[in-house]
Chain A
Amino acid sequence: MVSTTHFLVLGAILFTIGTVGVIIRRNVIIMFMCVELMLNAVNLTFLAFARHFNQIDAQIFVFFVMTVAAAEAAVGLALIVQLARRTNSVDIDQADTMKW
């Protein structure tokens, strides 16, 4: 039997990997994927709690999160394409025209 705690721990691990990834990686696409990983960790946490409470509310929340993530991906990828067109790379360090 897989308990709620297992799911929560997995969620926490995924969330941490995502957070660290956003901070240390310089490739915008990978940073974006790490954000998506964080959102999925959140979804997993929600589902674990929903199963624990035997409720449906949180499952609906997960649908909203997925929909919003899709909308965000559309905007985010468009911005990344724009960066790539301009600098021929997807390295976030290319975007450094403004400093302090």
Chain B
Amino acid sequence: MDINYTALLPEIILSVAGIVLMLLIPFVPKESQPKLGYVGLVGILLAFCALVLQWEGERGLAFFDMVFQDNFANFSKLLFLLSVGAITATSMHYLEQDRLLKAEYFCLLLFSTVGMCLMAASADLIMTFLGIEILSISTYVLAGYRSSEMKSTESALKYFILGAFSTAFLLYGVAFVYGATGTTKYLQISRAISDMDSYPVFLLLGVGFMIVGFGFKAAFVPFHVWTPDVYEGAPIPITAHLAVASKAAAVVAFLRILFQVVPDLSLQWQQLLWISAVLTMLIGNIAALTQSNIKRMLAYSSIAHAGYLLVGLTANSTMGAQGVLFYLMAYAFMNLGAFTVVQLVARRGEANVEIKDYAGLGFKYPLLSLALSVFIVSLAGIPLTAGFTGKLFLFSAAIQQGMYWLVVIAVVASAIGIYYYIRVLVFMYMREPEGEIESVGIPGVARIVILIMVLGTLYLGILPGSVLKMASEAVNF
């Protein structure tokens, strides 16, 4: 037992960057507040350097046995930093355009990243809880950041009430697990469970409640009802943040608990996850069919993608876990890219976010539309893109475990999904615009972000080897 601050270096850097940013805010004139995002970017870059430095470093427990220092945590942190870096970069333009001249936005983004990193590295249920809450409380505020819009307030309020509600379930579950095992440390809980001859009701109830809590955070059906409203009302970059990083954090923390804390109960939780996976894929894809607002469509699509991730979790194998990590990375590239384009096309006050507003865009902005097409095709899961390879790994993990029905349903659900993704392409390239297409300003930073996301999507689709190898090292608990 010792402190070993180096294990938490990325988190410490991010927190310090957030605090420095807060101190700078009063000294910066209102008009240039969005430019403070660069300070956030520097913080993220430094945290990234710290992460690279400890990539090959020592492994084990640190910070009074509260966090793991392992490849799994490192891989997840890399994913979070990448995602939050992209969101910070594109947010600067968004804040300027929508006249949201308050730089606290970037502090909250940084703090939410700290929460996510702690969730991924956590080795104790107390730390998991704290990580979830650091993430949640920051994102409640961010979802309501367009405070002049009723939609945004509504979104934040719904997110808040349901988020707090789900946290209570999670905590009740933690309390029961503690009652059954007498400890909150991951490794000790799993040891206590493997010593049991029969499982007490408390333990099963506790794990059940924890699954409900994580189900809310990661938007698994039947705990998904908040997702469309919250995603539609939140500012576009924050929707991306919720759909990519925040969901990834919940899935990653859930994965670690399933594989490291309650692997002995896999017979029980596999059944629950099987049902949830089927419902999540079908409901997400079917509900997305009728959406006219692109943010809402992407919200339902993100529910469907959570379903594919559940297929990997249900498989309960190393290959499944590896597939989940790979898919999260692929999903981050394609979804962040899609949201960045949506954000650029949107006008002030979040006008122009209906799918019909994309009519004729393909001819006026060929490059931007090409980029969006790559992301959409990848989300639909067409070969040569990240979405396809990711799904391939997830589904083959399930087949390896003999879950044929699950894979059949998953394939049918993705086939349904192709329809609404292709609809966006049809509008872009085959429909005449109703009026004059408004000009789209594309700032340099956004160009770089989109380029990285396109390259990432194609790279993971064509040469998945290196990331897959990283993922397989990461799930070697």
Contact = CB atoms under 8 A, between A and B. Distances in A.
Given A49-B179, A61-B184, A83-B153, A98 B233 contact: yes
Interface string A56-71: 0110110011001001
Contact of A42 (B133, B150, B151, B171): B171
A72 B144 contact: no
A49 B133 contact: no
Contact of B154 (A22, A49, A58, A98): A98
A42 B153 contact: no
A95 B232 contact: no
Contacts of B161: 22, 28, 31-32, 35, 76, 92
Interface string A27-68: 010011001001101100110110011010110110011001
Given A32-B161, A39-B168, A82 B153 contact: yes
Contact of A64 (B126, B147, B155, B167): B126
A98 B151 contact: yes
- If over half of B's interface residues share one DSSP class (helix, strand or loop), that class is named, otherwise mixed; here it is helix
A64 B168 contact: no
B101 interface: no
B157 A95 contact: yes
A72 B164 contact: yes
A3 interface: no
A79 B172 contact: no
Interface residues of A, number: 43
Nearest to A87: B150
Question: How big is the B interface, by class?
Answer: 35 or more
B129 A79 contact: no
Given A53-B182, A72-B137, A79-B140, A39 B157 contact: no
B179 A65 contact: no
A48 B126 CA distance: 17
Given A35-B161, A98-B232, A18 B168 contact: yes
A49 B141 CA distance: 34
A87 B148 CA distance: 13
Interface string A83-100: 100100000100111101
A68 B134 CA distance: 9
A100 to B, nearest CB: 8
B130 interface: yes
B175 interface: yes
Contact of B133 (A57, A72, A97): A72
B178 A79 contact: no
Contact of A79 (B160, B179, B233): B160
A64 B124 CA distance: 13
Contacts of A15: 168, 172
A4 to B, nearest CB: 9
B80 interface: no
Interface in B170-188: 171-172, 174-176, 178-179, 182-184
Contacts of B141: 75
Nearest to B180: A49
B130 A68 contact: yes
B365 interface: no
A80 interface: yes
Interface in B127-166: 129-130, 133, 137, 140-141, 144, 147, 150-151, 153-158, 160-161, 164-165
B363 to A, nearest CB: 32
- Counting chain B CB atoms within 10 Å of each CB, the highest count among A49, A57, A68 belongs to A68
Interface string A10-29: 01000100110010000010
Given A38-B168, A45-B179, A46-B178, A71 B153 contact: no
Contacts of A11: 175
Given A60-B126, A64-B129, 5 more contacts: A8-B179, A18-B168, A61-B178, A82-B147, A98-B232
20 contacts: A15-B168, A22-B165, A28-B157, A35-B165, A38-B168, A45-B179, A52-B179, A55-B182, A57-B183, A64-B130, A68-B137, A71-B133, A72-B160, A75-B160, A79-B140, A82-B153, A96-B154, A97-B150, A98-B155, A98-B229
Closest 4 CB pairs of A and B: A38-B168, A95-B154, A45-B175, A49-B179
